[in-house]
Amino acid sequence: MRAMVLAAPRTPLAPAELERPVPGPGQVLLRVRACGVCRTDLHVVDGELPRPKLPLVPGHQIVGEAEDGRRLGVPWLGSTCGTCRYCTSGRENLCDRARFTGYDLDGGYAEWAVADERFCLPLPDGFADLDAAPLLCAGLIGYRALSFTGDAARVGLYGFGAAAHIVAQVARWQGRRVFAVTREGDHEAQRFARSLGAEWAGAGAPPEELDAAIIFAPAGELVPAALAAVAKGGVVVCAGIHMSDIPSFPYELLWHERTIRSVANLTRRDGEEFLALAPLVPVRTEVTTYPLESAAQALDDLRAGRFSGAAVVVP
Ligand SMILES: [Zn+2]
Ligand SMILES: [Zn+2]
């Protein structure tokens, strides 16, 4: 089968001809219909995450078709041990022995993939393959991040890419007010954010206090900036798997019961909740498609911010 393979970190993805994977016990074989591109894929390729399987087929937002015709989604959480103290307390996202799709396990930048069936998610009708793919990480982990803002009425989204474009729609549907903080001069992202319900989009400080901020951009300097923007008791949620160092900041920014927290991975319950909610909003994804062989170009375009919304690779 055709696949895009990472031979070593900090080298470009290269096309390769691989054996079609054979499903092991509990696994399902899927013909890949679409696979979303995530910033995490970029961190893996750029060597910013410590121990990927090598060689690796990246990609963890797989829309696949099983041999019996079912359409299944394969997210980042590929498998867990089921027995550790995290797995047995509703926190399988933190499992000590979790294995992740497109990192510990080959992912969806390929014509075929195998996945542990217990961790596959049935996809809602009404979403074409291309539109469903970004729900599986941008949507799911964005939703988990949004849930950590509690009942915050004014939510700031820092970095308006694949996740934020979905989260903005969910937040508006929940009756929240959305403020989008983008890079200086990124008028396209600002226009895009406004089109999805952000009442303000710009660079620098939002025009009024926020109750919560979610940081999607991997830039540590946004943490003190977001803390300065949230009201007393507010929370700053760091939603990415990797971020540059957070600069030191005066305790005053954290004072008054402000909180900083991260979001790690997802649980299957997040997946079920979000995929039930997405058709109700309904979430509309904006996707740019790339043929499988152009996956490296998709990652370059993500790095450079050349598209709005999400990129999806199609074998
Ligand atoms: Zn576990
Ligand atoms: Zn992801």
pLDDT reported for residue 157? 98
Report CA(207)–ligand 2 centroid distance (Å): 30
pLDDT reported for residue 250? 98
Q: pLDDT band for position 99 (50/70/90)? A: very high
Q: pLDDT band for position 49 (50/70/90)? A: very high
Report CA(94)–ligand 1 centroid distance (Å): 7
Report CA(284)–ligand 1 centroid distance (Å): 34
Dump pLDDT digits (tens) for 33-43: 999 999 999 99
Q: Reply yes or no: is the peptide bond before residue 250 cis, omega within 30 of 0.
A: no
Fill in the DSSP letter of residue 83: -
CA distances from 146 to 2, 79, 122 (A): 37, 24, 22
As a whole number, mean pLDDT of residues 95-109 equals 98
Of the listed ligands, the closest to the CA of 82 is 1
What CATH code is assigned to 140-262?
3.40.50.720
Paired with 212 in beta bridges are: 155, 235
Report CA(100)–ligand 1 centroid distance (Å): 13
Residue intervals in the chain for CATH 3.40.50.720:
140-262
- The one-letter code for the residue type at 284 is R
As a whole number, mean pLDDT of residues 248-262 equals 98
Q: pLDDT band for position 165 (50/70/90)? A: very high
Q: pLDDT band for position 229 (50/70/90)? A: very high
Q: pLDDT band for position 79 (50/70/90)? A: very high
Q: Which helix (H) or strand (E) holds 168?
A: helix 162-173
As a whole number, mean pLDDT of residues 282-310 equals 97
Q: pLDDT band for position 31 (50/70/90)? A: very high
Q: Mean pLDDT score of the chain, rounded to an integer? A: 97
pLDDT reported for residue 287? 98
Neighbours of ion ligand 1 (CB under 5 A): 80-81, 84, 87, 95
How many whole angstroms separate alpha carbon 263 and alpha carbon 312?
Answer: 23
Report CA(88)–ligand 1 centroid distance (Å): 7
Report CA(159)–ligand 2 centroid distance (Å): 15
Report CA(31)–ligand 1 centroid distance (Å): 28
Report CA(207)–ligand 1 centroid distance (Å): 43
Of the listed ligands, the closest to the CA of 61 is 2
Report CA(139)–ligand 2 centroid distance (Å): 9
Report CA(210)–ligand 1 centroid distance (Å): 36
What's the CA angle centered on 143, arms 141 and 148, to 5 degrees?
Answer: 100
DSSP assignment of 126-137: T--HHHHGGGGT
Report CA(237)–ligand 1 centroid distance (Å): 24
As a whole number, mean pLDDT of residues 148-177 equals 98
| Sequence-ordered list of residues with C-beta below 8 angstroms from that of 187, at least 6 positions apart, any chain | none
Residue intervals in the chain for CATH 3.90.180.10:
2-134+266-314
Residue with tokens 């121990």: 51
Q: Is 248 exposed, middle or buried (0-12, 13-18, 19+ CB in 10 A)?
A: exposed
Do residues 93 and 246 touch, judged by C-beta distance below 8 A?
no
Report CA(266)–ligand 2 centroid distance (Å): 10
Residue with tokens 């370059």: 300
Do residues 139 and 274 touch, judged by C-beta distance below 8 A?
yes
Cα atoms found within 13 Å of the Cα of residue 294, Cβ hemisphere only: 12
Q: pLDDT band for position 65 (50/70/90)? A: very high
Report CA(79)–ligand 1 centroid distance (Å): 9
| Sequence-ordered list of residues with C-beta below 8 angstroms from that of 252, at least 6 positions apart, any chain | none
How many whole angstroms separate alpha carbon 59 and alpha carbon 66?
Answer: 18
* The two structure tokens encoding residue 94: 């933190």
Q: Which CATH class is domain 2-134+266-314?
A: alpha beta
Q: How far is CA 114 from the centre of its chain?
A: 21
* The two structure tokens encoding residue 65: 């078709």
Q: pLDDT band for position 59 (50/70/90)? A: very high
Report CA(90)–ligand 1 centroid distance (Å): 10
Q: pLDDT band for position 234 (50/70/90)? A: very high
Fill in the DSSP letter of residue 170: H
Task: Residue 261: name the closest of 230, 300, 306 by CA.
Answer: 230
